[in-house]
């Protein structure tokens, strides 16, 4: 997910993804007689990572995968509730699956993820084709509920856990390029950003056992993967200790009250191999520490790229959003990144246009923040009120839709401008690029990313997963073009 992503009209990006099959199961050709699972995922990387856990759970029950819902015995849709349009997209997909079910009455249809958690049994009532509803912490129950559904009984489990991290489950990598993989390091979120539904759909924050994370990274490296992305809603608050996690371990090392913070965890993963790139997302401006920045600097294989969502450039709006930092604090963190990691470190953001009571001047503050930081790219949205959130309870959603859309367009235009400026600075420079495969547009060209997470296209014929040194000769706001050195 790179470049300018915004939901200005009918979730264009999500629609494109739905058409491009990027996030659907592919055919597991090996065993034709197995029962088949078709799974489709929406939302953030954590959801994509969860789908890999779900597939693993069903694989242990003898399921293979299929890329076609028509050939599936079980269809699962892993959903997102972050904005209203995300839920609308899922409703449309359920209409499509309804048509599939009319042709094949035996297929079981399940809704997983954040929308399942938010709407609970309401989903079973509203969407007649749905046989099972499972929240993000209930996936171990899936085999039981699938069996029930096959016997004609609808099932639901939306229990949110304080402990579940699926640490022991080895995810089945879906649609993998064989080079980069996602590793979930924590679940839930304890921040209460007033606009956000995630704390309600994902529950309390909990960190996964670091030893299981390192083991997963090592397994991936042994299988040929060369990049891992450590995922959490707020990775900087990662904290694990045997006591806190209620997992008193018997070995001596853990008896010594081992506490692992995010900087320690990154270091542990970076040590798996200098040839394994380490990425992470998402960093929270209130929590990112200089210790984390120094750890990034210390290890060449920890990528120089930080996704640090600002949301707004105005301190009053940030306070209403309950982000617990102000413009000054945000700028201070960016300055720390630039001074410790240098100007080449990639920084990206999420931006929300038209939050409750936002004035034109306050919107201008977002644009001037973008001018100051010069984000390499951003995910940009207009505010969508979510039922049950603090903002929905306390504030009026009073910025008219046309105004929200116009402000979002101004934010998108500003991002295009600063992305191009940032990319032009790279012309003439040489970067190490991890090759992900052929370029989507040309068979003669390869595509990869540099440490700052920028997509680099260049002419070559090299294997996926290898590193190439590329000199940049041209760019657009979203891509660097180069030649092999
Ligand atoms: N945990 C991450 C953080 O705090 O930066 C982000 C998580 S959220 C899944 C991804 C982004 O969706 C947020 O950063 C925010 O920009 C956007 N978002 C969340 N709720 C929204 C809402 N109600 N309306 C519009 N955008 C929203
Ligand atoms: Fe939502 Fe805020 Fe948590 Fe991010 S940090 S998931 S925006 S509540
Ligand atoms: Fe969406 Fe849930 Fe992720 S609401 S963005 S899938 S945590």
Mean pLDDT value of segment 158-177: 94
Mean pLDDT value of segment 429-437: 97
Q: Please give the Cα distance from 98 to 86 (Å, whole number).
A: 19
Provide the pLDDT confidence category of residue 104 given band limits of 50, 70 and 90.
Answer: confident
CATH number reported for the structural domain that contains residue 362 in this entry: 3.80.30.20
List the structure tokens of 283.
């960093």
Residues spanned by the domain of 204: 180-424
Least confident stretch, 28-32, 165-169, 410-414, 436-440: 28-32
Indicate if the pLDDT at residue 1 is higher than 50: no
Residue 226 lies in a domain: yes
Contact status, residue 231 vs residue 187, Cβ threshold 8 Å: no
Please name which of 138, 40, 145 lies closest in space to residue 96, comparing C-alpha atoms.
40
Residue 168 lies in a domain: no
pLDDT averaged over every residue in the chain: 92
CA–centroid distance, 198 to ligand 1, in Å, is 8
Atom of ligand 3 nearest to the CA of 46: 3
Q: State the pLDDT at residue 176.
A: 85
User: What are the CA-CA distances from residue 471 to residues 297, 320, 386, 418, 442 (Å)?
Assistant: 23, 45, 46, 21, 19
Residue 169 lies in a domain: no
Atom of ligand 1 nearest to the CA of 197: 20
For residue range 349-383, list pLDDT tens digits in order.
999 999 999 999 999 999 999 999 999 999 999 99
Please name which of 387, 382, 370, 449 lies closest in space to residue 409, comparing C-alpha atoms.
382
For residue range 448-480, list pLDDT tens digits in order.
999 999 999 999 999 999 999 999 999 999 999
459 in the same domain as 420: no
Contact status, residue 184 vs residue 231, Cβ threshold 8 Å: yes
For residue range 192-211, list pLDDT tens digits in order.
999 999 999 999 999 999 99
Please name which of 183, 95, 188 lies closest in space to residue 137, comparing C-alpha atoms.
188
CATH number reported for the structural domain that contains residue 474 in this entry: 2.40.50.140
Pocket of ligand 3 contains residue 185 by CB under 6 Å? no
Residue 163 lies in a domain: no
Q: State what percent of residues in the chain have pLDDT above 70.
A: 90
343 in the same domain as 195: yes
Residue at which a domain ends, from 123, 142, 157: 157
Q: State what percent of residues in the chain have pLDDT above 90.
A: 87
Indicate if the pLDDT at residue 6 is higher than 50: no
Residue 344 lies in a domain: yes
The answer for residues whose C-beta is within 8 angstroms of residue 295's C-beta and 6 or more apart is 263, 266, 267, 270, 302
End-to-end CA distance of the chain: 27
What letters, b where the CB count within 10 A reaches 16 and e where it falls short, cover 343-371? ebbbbbbbbbbbbbebeeebbebbbebbe
Provide the pLDDT confidence category of residue 33 given band limits of 50, 70 and 90.
Answer: low
Ramachandran angles phi, psi of 65, nearest 5°? -115, 155
Residue at which a domain ends, from 406, 424, 442: 424
Helix (H) or strand (E) holding 469: strand 467-475
454 in the same domain as 353: no
Q: State the pLDDT at residue 31.
A: 52
472 in the same domain as 412: no
Residue at which a domain ends, from 373, 398, 424: 424
Sort 182 into a burial class: Cβ within 10 Å, 0-12 / 13-18 / 19+. buried
Q: State the pLDDT at residue 24.
A: 61
Atom of ligand 3 nearest to the CA of 79: 6
- Angle ∠(108,28,101) on CA atoms, nearest 5: 20
Q: Please give the Cα distance from 192 to 252 (Å, whole number).
A: 38
CA–centroid distance, 475 to ligand 3, in Å, is 32
Please name which of 314, 419, 328, 316 lies closest in space to residue 367, comparing C-alpha atoms.
314
96 in the same domain as 212: no
Pocket of ligand 1 contains residue 83 by CB under 6 Å? yes
Indicate if the pLDDT at residue 14 is higher than 80: no
CA–centroid distance, 192 to ligand 2, in Å, is 7
Q: Please give the Cα distance from 340 to 376 (Å, whole number).
A: 18
254 in the same domain as 326: yes
For residue range 384-407, list pLDDT tens digits in order.
999 999 999 999 999 999 999 999
Indicate if the pLDDT at residue 215 is higher than 60: yes
Q: Please give the Cα distance from 358 to 367 (Å, whole number).
A: 13
Q: State the pLDDT at residue 27.
A: 59
Number of domains in the chain: 3
Q: State the pLDDT at residue 175.
A: 82
Pocket of ligand 3 contains residue 80 by CB under 6 Å? yes
191 in the same domain as 136: no
For residue range 231-290, list pLDDT tens digits in order.
999 999 999 998 766 554 444 454 556 899 999 999 999 999 999 999 999 999 999 999
Pocket of ligand 2 contains residue 232 by CB under 6 Å? no
417 in the same domain as 352: yes
User: What are the CA-CA distances from residue 457 to residues 210, 344, 431, 480, 483 (Å)?
Assistant: 35, 19, 12, 6, 8
List the structure tokens of 344.
């080449």
What is the value of pTM for the model shown?
0.93
Indicate if the pLDDT at residue 20 is higher than 60: no
Indicate if the pLDDT at residue 5 is higher than 70: no
Q: State the pLDDT at residue 242.
A: 82
Least confident stretch, 60-69, 358-367, 415-424, 439-448: 439-448
Residue 31 lies in a domain: yes
Indicate if the pLDDT at residue 298 is higher than 90: yes
Residue 152 lies in a domain: yes
DSSP codes, 177-206: -SSEEEEE-EE------TT--HHHHH-S-E
251 in the same domain as 105: no
Ramachandran angles phi, psi of 240, nearest 5°? -135, 135
Pocket of ligand 1 contains residue 233 by CB under 6 Å? yes
Pocket of ligand 2 contains residue 81 by CB under 6 Å? no
Q: State the pLDDT at residue 13.
A: 39
Residue 261 lies in a domain: yes
Mean pLDDT value of segment 183-187: 97
439 in the same domain as 416: no
Pocket of ligand 1 contains residue 295 by CB under 6 Å? no
User: What are the CA-CA distances from residue 229 to residues 163, 270, 276, 361 (Å)?
Assistant: 22, 11, 11, 37
Pocket of ligand 1 contains residue 6 by CB under 6 Å? no
76 in the same domain as 48: yes
DSSP-derived pairing of the beta strands 63-65 and 5-6 = unpaired
Indicate if the pLDDT at residue 2 is higher than 50: no
145 in the same domain as 33: yes
């Amino acid at each position: 997910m790179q470049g300018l992503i915004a939901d200005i009209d009918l979730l264009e990006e999500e629609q494109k993804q739905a058409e491009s099959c990027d996030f659907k199961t592919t055919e597991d050709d090996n065993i034709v007689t197995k029962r088949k699972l078709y799974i489709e995922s929406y939302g953030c990387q954590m959801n994509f990572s969860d789908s890999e856990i779900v597939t693993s759970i069903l694989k242990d029950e003898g399921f293979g995968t299929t890329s076609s819902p028509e050939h599936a015995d079980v269809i699962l849709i892993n959903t997102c509730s972050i904005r209203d349009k995300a839920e609308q997209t899922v409703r449309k997909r359920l209409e499509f699956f309804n048509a599939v079910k009319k042709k094949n009455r035996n297929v079981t249809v399940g809704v997983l993820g954040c929308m399942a958690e938010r709407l609970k049994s309401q989903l079973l009532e509203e969407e007649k084709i749905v046989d099972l509803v499972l929240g993000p912490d209930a996936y171990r129950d899936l085999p039981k509920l699938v069996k029930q559904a096959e016997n004609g009984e609808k099932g639901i489990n939306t229990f949110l856990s304080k402990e579940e991290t699926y640490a022991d489950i080895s995810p089945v990598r879906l649609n993998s390029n064989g080079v980069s993989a996602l590793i979930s390091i924590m679940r839930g979120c304890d921040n209460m950003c007033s606009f956000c539904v995630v704390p309600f759909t994902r529950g309390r924050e909990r960190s996964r056992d670091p030893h299981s994370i390192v083991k997963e990274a090592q397994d991936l490296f042994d299988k040929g993967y060369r990049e891992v992305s450590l995922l959490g809603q707020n990775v900087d608050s990662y904290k694990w200790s045997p006591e806190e996690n209620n997992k008193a371990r018997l070995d001596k090392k853990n008896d010594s009250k081992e506490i692992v913070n995010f900087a320690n965890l990154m270091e542990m993963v970076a040590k798996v191999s200098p040839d394994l790139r380490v990425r992470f997302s998402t960093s929270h401006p209130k929590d990112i520490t200089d210790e984390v920045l120094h750890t990034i600097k210390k290890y060449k294989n920890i990528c120089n790229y930080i996704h640090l969502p600002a949301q707004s450039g105005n301190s009053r709006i940030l306070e209403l959003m309950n982000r617990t930092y102000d413009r000054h604090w945000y700028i201070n963190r960016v300055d720390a990144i630039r001074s410790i990691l240098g100007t080449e470190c990639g920084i990206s953001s999420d931006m929300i246009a038209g939050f409750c009571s936002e004035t034109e001047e306050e919107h201008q503050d977002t644009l001037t923040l973008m001018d100051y930081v010069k984000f390499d790219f951003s995910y940009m949205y207009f505010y969508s009120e979510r039922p049950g959130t603090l903002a929905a309870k306390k504030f009026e959603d009073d910025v008219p839709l046309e105004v929200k859309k116009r402000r979002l367009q101004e934010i998108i235009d500003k991002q295009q401008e600063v992305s191009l400026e940032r990319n032009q600075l790279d012309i003439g420079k040489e970067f190490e690029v991890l090759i992900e495969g052929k370029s989507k547009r040309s068979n003669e060209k390869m595509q990869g990313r540099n440490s700052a997470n920028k997509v680099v296209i260049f002419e070559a014929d090299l294997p996926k997963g290898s590193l190439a040194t590329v000199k940049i000769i041209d760019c657009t706001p979203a891509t660097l073009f180069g030649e092999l050195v």
